[in-house]
Structure 1
Amino acid sequence: MDETAQRRQVPIQASPEKIDMKLEIAVIPVADPERSKTFYQSLGWRLDIDFQGDDFRVVQFTPPGSECSVMFGRNITAAKPGTGQGLHLVVADIVAARIDLIKRGVAVSELFHDAGGIFHHSDGRGIRQGPNPERKSYASYFSFNDPDGNGWHLQEVTARLPGLPGDTSFSKQLYRAVWGERT
């Protein structure tokens, strides 16, 4: 029996330990890869890949400090251009990030926050102008679109919450410790 056949016969055991799963790439649908490449370069993102085959193109950028990249091109997704929505970039200083993008020529929204304090609603309900009045972590945003209309939000995170275990009483205690009582 050759080595390949022997490997196929080794049973695969599921590990009871946690398996690391890292979000590596977010694919966004675009109409014109060259126009999108120019746009994402203007943001100051690192160009990782620009590969073209006979019937496809793959362009990949990584935002500064991110471990997740953005990929777009030709014939790499069936999604319609501009349908990528709810993409979030986390920054430590929402005001500085907004100023930086404006200086780069990006049309950005005004700063906003959710009145409830947790997350902005896609329908605009509960959205208030300006950053969160107490500048709570996870609570202040602004947005922009790429040339195809793919929607990005920048979110200010100044103190990261730990991952929450399944114990909801712990989750409630942690929420109160970070956010206070909800009104």
Structure 2
Amino acid sequence: MNWKIEVVPMPVTDVDRAKTFYVDQVGFNADHDHRVDENIRFVQLTPPGSACSVVMGEGVVEMEPGSQKGLMAVIPKAEDARQHLLDNGVECSEVDEQPWGRFVYFADPDGNTWTLQELPDYAQR
């Protein structure tokens, strides 16, 4: 039996602001934006190349906005990811060099945080 994590909840205060941030600034793909009824809006966004998406909306995420901490994505090159974020107006950390990888950190407008990791052997994958 396979278990695949394919969707992670992203708690936000303003769905349109968050969608704009993730799509226009970070570079995620907008997969779905569907209003089921006056209480439920389902927005699914996916990082390029990822098999896992984030979901936000109205009536679909029960966590407090800004409480999703430390989501991690693997990237090919930390400098390139950092420069992409900076070029698109996203505040982010310097590249953090560690023996187990190179990292860039950023937060969305609600304070949900992300870690981008360049694996030490990514070039061989």
Native 8 Å contact 1:92 1:158 kept in 2: no
Which protein is bigger by CA-based radius of gyration? Answer: 1
Amino acid at match of 1:45: F
Partner of 2:17: 35
What is the aligned counterpart of 2:38 among 30, 44, 54? 54
Corresponding residue number in structure 2 for 1:44: 27
For 2:117, the aligned partner's letter is Q
Map of 1:21 onto structure 2: 3
Q: CA RMSD in A?
A: 1.3
Aligned length: 120
> Of 81, 84, 90, which aligns to 1:106?
90
Partner of 1:175: none
TM-score normalised by the chain length of structure 1: 0.62
CA contact (8 A) 2:95 2:104 kept: yes
Identical positions, percent? 39
Matches within 5 A, 1:84-163: 84-112=68-96, 131-132=97-98, 136=99, 138-159=100-121
Counterpart CA distance in 1 for 2:121 and 2:44 is 29
Any unmatched runs of 5+ in structure 1? 1-18, 113-130, 161-183
Correspondence for 1:6: none
Which aligned pairs between 1:61-76 and structure 2 lie closer than 5 A? 61-76=45-60
- Residues 58-82 of structure 1: CA distance to partner in whole angstroms, max 9, x if unpaired? 1111101100001101111221000
3-state DSSP class of the match of 2:17?
A: helix
Consecutive unaligned residues in structure 2, runs of 5 or more: none
- The whole-number CA distance in structure 1 between the counterparts of 2:2 and 2:62 is 28
Q: Which amino acid aligns with 1:24?
A: E
Deviates more, 1:49-58 or 1:145-154: 49-58
Structure 1 distance, partners of 2:80, 2:120, is 13
1:5-45 deviation line (CA, Å, top 9, x unaligned): xxxxxxxxxxxxxx111111011100110100110112221
SS for the counterpart of 2:94 is coil
Structure 1 residue 159 displacement after superposition: 2.6
Q: TM-score, normalised by structure 2?
A: 0.90
Deviations 1:147-173 (A, max 9, x none): 10000010112536xxxxxxxxxxxxx
SS in structure 1 of the partner of residue 20 of structure 2: helix
Q: Specify which structure has the higher proportion of strand.
A: 2
Q: Which residue does 1:8 correspond to in 2?
A: none
Q: CA deviation at 1:86?
A: 1.1
